[in-house]
Amino acid sequence: MTERYDCHYCKESLFGKKYVLREENPYCVKCYESLYSNTCEECKKPIGCNMTYHDQPWHKDCFLCTGCKQQLSGQRFTSRDDFAYCLNCFCNLYAKKCASCTSPISGTHTHMHTHDLSYKDRHWHEECFHCFQCKRSLVDKPFSTKDEQMLCTECYSNEYSSKCHECKKTIMPGLGGSKYISFEERQWHNDCFNCKKCSVSLVGRGFLTERDDILCPECGKDI
């Protein structure tokens, strides 16, 4: 007569069933897992095939993104405050947002570049760092701001800079060596600051005014 081969713990027959030997004692799979297997950190059920995160065992089906709940087994993920996230959820929740398009600044999104350009605690994708008006790139170029909008020097000057009293063109101080004269809330380019009658330059010289005109002392002596 064949000797019975039973589970060492529950005593049920192991005939025709899978079993596990431990210290030469046979166990049915159910008893072995309940007695000796790790317990899943999420569902608290026994784990046959282990995966671990932060030294805690998990079923693969239980190891999910904290945000979207998709399985993280076999894909890249990151963590914050001991919670695991897929890269997209992590970026949407915690990555810096572009001041222009408001999308996260991260390589997991559709932007060609992922460089974080920053100015006064705001951040931009490289391809989003452009003039608010003409949309030309401002990367490695001088720019100005108005009401928190980024403007290239040309657009800023056209909108907000002073105009020369003589030629009516924009005065762009500090750019390309441009210099100007200011008098009684009026401005002139240096090259435009000339006597109205004889056209001699008045830069660095005394001058007189007659209504809106400026005159050299010689031309103005009969005023």
Q: What is the pLDDT of residues 2-34, one digit of tens each?
A: 467 899 989 998 888 887 788 888 888 888 777
Residues 64, 86: Cα–Cα separation, whole Å: 9
**Which pLDDT band, with edges at 50, 70 and 90, does 135 fall under?**
very high
Looking at the structure, do residues 148 and 184 belong to the same domain, yes or no? no
- Give the pTM: 0.42
Residue 160 has pLDDT above 50, yes or no: yes
Looking at the structure, do residues 108 and 87 belong to the same domain, yes or no? no
Assigned domain for 12 exists = no
Which CATH number do you get for residue 209? 2.10.110.10
Assigned domain for 112 exists = yes
Percent of the chain with pLDDT over 70: 84
Looking at the structure, do residues 62 and 107 belong to the same domain, yes or no? no
Assigned domain for 20 exists = no
Looking at the structure, do residues 84 and 138 belong to the same domain, yes or no? no
Assigned domain for 26 exists = no
The mean pLDDT value of the chain amounts to 81
Residue 200 has pLDDT above 90, yes or no: yes
Assigned domain for 16 exists = no
Assigned domain for 21 exists = no
Span 83-125, pLDDT tens digits: 888 888 888 888 788 888 888 876 544 444 456 788 888 888 8
Assigned domain for 17 exists = no
Assigned domain for 207 exists = yes
Domain encompassing residue 59 = 37-92
